[in-house]
Homo-oligomer: A and B are copies of this chain.
């Protein structure tokens, strides 16, 4: 048989993990730019440097690719948070941390958030998704905080932890809709503080001390800042916990 002068096919063999991460990176880009429906497999393949068929070797279909991309994003977020969260003490601080983190994530990645909220969650197969599990774990932290707070006698014993969860995440979602539609903006820290206070007051035993405490601290900070300014001192970037 004569040697084939087939220069046509450029076969580019790469380790599977690399292929997968290339595809997912490209898919993330395209989904973020175009949204799910307007994202084209062809486009994703092009940017990933593979052909369409190759995508289907690793992902059953377009939707699975979307889900995997969002799951990946979510997992990274969780991993980053988990460590810090473990260090936070006190119900109020923990709630605030969760609220702030969530608001900040949405603020950082609005497009991915939209995909998660609008494309994946409403789907009938959402339960059964790994993302569903991840999200459960994510929101469960709040439930645990509430349970712990109740056990510690800090929070009202008749509080429904799951209702608090819905209250918090629902509120955040509602508050960020306008932003997700690209029509407004919000300040994560400020919003987190307000939501936390409101919710905390709803669940705290007796006469919650959050807000007085808060305003006093604020005044202290202000006064301190002024003194520092008067003394010509530039304050260092304060720790997030105090940064408000």
Contacts and interface: CB of A to CB of B under 8 A. Distances in A.
Interface of A: 1-2, 37-38, 61-63, 92, 114, 118, 121-122, 124, 126-127, 156-160, 163-167, 169-175, 177, 181-183, 189-190, 193-195, 197-204, 206-224, 226-228, 230-231, 233, 235, 240-244
Residue with the highest number of chain B CB atoms closer than 10 Å, among A1, A169, A206: A206
A241 B219 contact: yes
B244 A193 contact: yes
Nearest to A178: B127
Given A240-B219, A243-B218, A244-B193, A167 B208 contact: no
Given A170-B170, A175-B170, A204 B215 contact: no
Contacts of A167: 167, 170-171, 174, 195, 198-199
A217 B174 CA distance: 29
This chain: how many copies in the complex?
A: 4
A95 B172 CA distance: 20
Question: 10 tightest CB-CB pairs across the interface, nearest first?
Answer: A207-B208, A170-B170, A170-B174, A202-B202, A166-B174, A209-B213, A219-B240, A170-B171, A223-B227, A158-B244
A122 to B, nearest CB: 5
A169 B164 contact: no
A72 to B, nearest CB: 22
30 contacts: A126-B181, A127-B181, A157-B243, A158-B211, A163-B171, A163-B195, A166-B171, A166-B174, A167-B167, A167-B170, A173-B174, A189-B240, A197-B211, A197-B214, A201-B206, A201-B208, A201-B210, A206-B206, A208-B209, A215-B243, A215-B244, A218-B240, A219-B224, A219-B243, A220-B220, A222-B235, A222-B243, A223-B224, A224-B227, A227-B227
